[in-house]
Amino acid sequence: MPGHFEPLPGGGAAVALDDVEISIIRSLAVQLLELIGPGPGADAPDDPLAELFAEGPSEPPSDPVLRRLFPDAYGDPELAPRSPADADQERAHSAEFRRYTENDLRTGKRENALGVIRSLDALAPVDEGGAVLKLSAQESRQWVGALNDLRLAIGARLEITEEEDTDLLFRLPEEDARKPMVLAYLWLGGLQETLVTTLMP
């Protein structure tokens, strides 16, 4: 179980984490929450309808991490549009889609990150340090989403666009300032992969 998730009888998953691993995941989840923001209804908590009917932004975020977490729904950034008219149409469709979906996407990502923080905060430590994290099937799905978002965020900061980028970054010298982020990216990927496996029928 150390370092990877294993399935639990009846659904869910478990993994042994040491104190440093718990601290790293929790810190990253808190940073993700801060990056995503408080949500559209935060300014009007007394009006529950305000958030329900709030429209989201129509322009993509300026932060590269948020652009990775909330990409345009139309058009491939790697491919040039066929014509200026096609580019205008793709922007218009993306803006409309973003306006009506981004708030819900942000809410879901916040809930996933909060689920990670809550489950880590509820851990009972063991004598030799660390703890065994046991997740229900629902909590496992939240963790998969949060781990994916954390990897996307780190990948955006490292400018990872292809698998080859990861291989090159992994071979960075130890004194390179990016090395800890690369190791976290790879470690979270391993956790995510084994957790996804436990959810497969």
Token pair in block for residue 143: 């963790």
pLDDT of 51: 54
* CA 4 – CA 138 distance, rounded (Å): 18
Query: Cβ distance 146 to 115 under 8 Å?
Result: yes
How many other CB atoms sit within 10 Å of the CB of residue 135?
Answer: 23
* CA 69 – CA 104 distance, rounded (Å): 13
pLDDT of 1: 42
How far from 82 is each of 77, 95, 105, CA to CA, in Å? 13, 19, 29
Token pair in block for residue 123: 């851990």
Point out which residues pair with 57 in neighbouring strands. Answer: none
How far from 80 is each of 73, 75, 84, CA to CA, in Å? 15, 9, 10
pLDDT of 127: 67
pLDDT of 24: 96
* CA 115 – CA 142 distance, rounded (Å): 6
pLDDT of 104: 85
Q: Digits of tens for pLDDT over the chain (201 positions)?
A: 457 999 999 889 999 999 999 999 999 999 999 999 875 545 445 555 555 555 666 576 788 898 888 877 765 555 555 666 666 666 665 666 666 677 888 899 999 999 999 999 999 877 678 899 999 999 999 999 999 999 999 999 998 888 777 778 878 888 988 899 999 999 999 999 999 999 987
pLDDT of 44: 47
Please write down the long-range contacts of 189-193, taking CB distance under 8 Å and 24 or more positions apart.
Answer: 189/151, 190/3, 190/4, 191/3, 191/4, 191/5, 191/15, 191/147, 192/144, 192/147, 192/148, 192/151
